[in-house]
Structures are given as structure tokens and as C-alpha cells.
A = this chain, B = another copy of it.
Amino acid sequence: MTKKSPAPEAVKAWGRLLRVSRQLVEKTEDILKAGGLPPLAWYDVLHELAEAGEGGLRPFELIDRVLLAQYNVSRLLARLEADGLVEKLPVSDDGRGQTVRITPSGREMRRRIWAVYGAAIADLMGDKLSAKELEALASLLGRLRDPPVGD
């Protein structure tokens, strides 16, 4: 079987995508660290749990949402629980599982992270592109997702 060769435009866009995203993540992590705040992954999980509300989420639901490996979620939740930011509840109809719920202190931490994270997003993205351009970017990126997503 013959391997495909990518178009030059694809290679260029690919390179930019990887480099830019790494640069942005790194900068954001630095800013959070400088503010004595936990890493981005913590925010992601706290955000999902906050959106999920009182019902909480099962760890395996978290896995697809935050795009982390199972063992990573398992350990991250352990750290969050140790810090009192989430709590694990047994779930009645499945003896294997548990439900994870954000605590008030977790919500507070989420707010604190967001104050810094949101500002970083504004600095690093919002200020560089117009609203129309941001929408165009989101739309193009959506087509690269698996599964692709519209709007």
C-alpha cells in the first residue's frame, strides 16, 4: 500500500497548529504557576464538574470530556479530592462506580483560576484576532475535530 503525501498547505497549517498551541499552553501554564494556581487540567475538570451540577459526573464521563487517559483522570481526581475540591460519592445502581461532585471550595478555586485563565485567553487570543476571525478559526478547527463539528 502506498502512503499518502500531504499537501504543502496542509504541512504548513499543521506546523503552525502544533507550535501555536504549544506556545499558548506553555504561556498559560506559566501564568497560572506564577499566580500560585494549579495547572490547566485542574481547571478543565473543575469546569466540567461545575457544569454538571449537583448530580456530578462519573469518572468515565469525564474522560471523553477532558480528553485525558483513564489513569490520568483517576489520579487527577485523587489529587483534587485530597485538596477538598471534589468529593466522591458511591453510586447506587453500579457498585463499581462512583460519582464525582465539585465542592464549594472547588467552585471557588475554579473562579480563582478563571480570573487568571480568562485574562490569558483575552490577551493571547482575544486581542489578536477580531470576533469574525475568531469565529472563522473556530469553524475551521471544528472541521478537524473527530467527529467534525459545525458552526
Contacts and interface: CB of A to CB of B under 8 A. Distances in A.
Interface of A: 3-7, 9-14, 16-27, 67, 115-116, 118-119, 121-126, 128-129, 131, 133-138, 140-146, 148
A50 to B, nearest CB: 15
A125 B137 contact: no
B134 A136 contact: no
Question: Chain A at the B interface: mostly helix, strand, loop or mixed?
Answer: helix
A145 B20 contact: yes
Contacts of A138: 9, 12-13, 16
Contact of A14 (B19, B125, B131): B125
Contact of A141 (B16, B123, B143): B16
